[in-house]
Amino acid sequence: MKENTFTPQEIMFSPTTQCNLHCAHCDTEQTGKVLPKKAALKFLDACNRSGIKRVGFTGGEPFYALDFLCLISKEAVRREMFFDHIITNASWFKTEKELRSALNRLFKSGYDGKFFVSVDAFHRQDLRKVASFIKTASRIWTRPDIVSIASVKGTRENETRKKLKKLAVILNARFTGLTSQAPRIKNQNLIINIFSFNLSPVGRAAGLKDPWDGKWFKDDFCKGPGHIFFVLSDQTVKPCCGYAHKADILTLGSIRRDSPRQLLLHARKNRFISTVFESGLHVIRKQLESSGVRFPGKTTNHCFFCYYLTHHISRLTLNRCLNALRKKP
């Protein structure tokens, strides 16, 4: 097997696109489509048999598909699979009672992964709800570090910092600051690690004023968030949940008709996917440049580069480039 062959290690389900928020940078179209549980279960089973053992959930807001989360969690436990995390905005509930009941149901289903809560300048949720979510989850799972925070950095870092400070005050905890070695919010009952990442100017985020402070672009291999089967609510499967994942060229197939084995075969046959994962994005850049394409600069974010290739370079030019690469020894 080639060193960088696409080898999915995890299934990430996006059971619904529905969400209680409408963040300015979000490209999720809230279509109301819901991933059918039966098809997802069949796919989970087939993945498990082929050695993919880790499961995660994202959205929209995945708690709007609580039945799905509970069923898949229960069945994953039955098959001795592992959990990665659930990405949530932690503000989807109307009452504390609803929050407790949902988290208790999820706990009883056997889910023992973590929660990633998005808190930053771009997510406008009620921080008191986020605090309740954190306290309730940590109490039910009896784990002080059950919740981590994912924060978008960039030019709005000050605003993000203020929100994190405010959250710490509500939790009666200490915020160590975003630049500390291990950014976290902490008190005697809670350890909330904070992970920051750059927001790339893609999709709706491209229309925002100064959405990020990244650079245009220094290419690289696809290092992820690839190597997963990302199952969308319309049942299509992508090889990653990176910025470019929605591009048609990154479609592997559908859980409606394809087994994990067939999806892998499609990935190997898809020249864009196989080149991105096996040879690296830099090979595509060099080939395009040699045919006269000029890029606006360098970026430190390979998904941003991938987005540029799939959204700003014509399919014809991209196909010519991939054909030329195929003929190279």
Q: Which residues bind ligand SF4 (CB under 6 A)?
A: 19, 21-23, 26, 28, 59-61, 89, 118, 123, 222, 224-226, 239-240, 242-245, 276, 302-303, 306
Q: Which is nearer to ligand SF4, 191 or 303 (CB)?
A: 303
Q: Which is nearer to ligand SF4, 228 or 255 (CB)?
A: 228
Q: Give me the half-sphere count of Cα atoms (radius 13 Å) on the Cβ side of residue 118.
A: 23
Read off φ and ψ for residue 64, nearest 5 degrees: -75, -5
Structure tokens at 305: 């580069």
Q: Give me the half-sphere count of Cα atoms (radius 13 Å) on the Cβ side of residue 125.
A: 25
**CA angle (250 as vertex; 37, 266 as ends), nearest 5:** 80
The residue of the chain with the least Cβ separation from ligand SF4 equals 242
Q: Which is nearer to ligand SF4, 59 or 253 (CB)?
A: 59
- Cβ 189 to ligand SF4 shortest distance, Å: 26
Structure tokens at 208: 């925002």
Q: Which is nearer to ligand SF4, 143 or 266 (CB)?
A: 266
Alpha helices, H only, the chain = 37-49, 66-78, 96-108, 127-140, 157-170, 260-269, 271-274, 281-290, 302-312, 315-327
Distance CA 237, CA 329 (A): 31
Checking phi first, is residue 154 left (phi over 0); if not, alpha (psi -120 to 50) or beta? left
- Cβ 39 to ligand SF4 shortest distance, Å: 22
Q: How many CB atoms lie within 10 A of CB 12?
A: 22
What angle separates helix 281-290 from helix 302-312, to the nearest 10 degrees?
A: 40
- DSSP annotation of 250 reads G
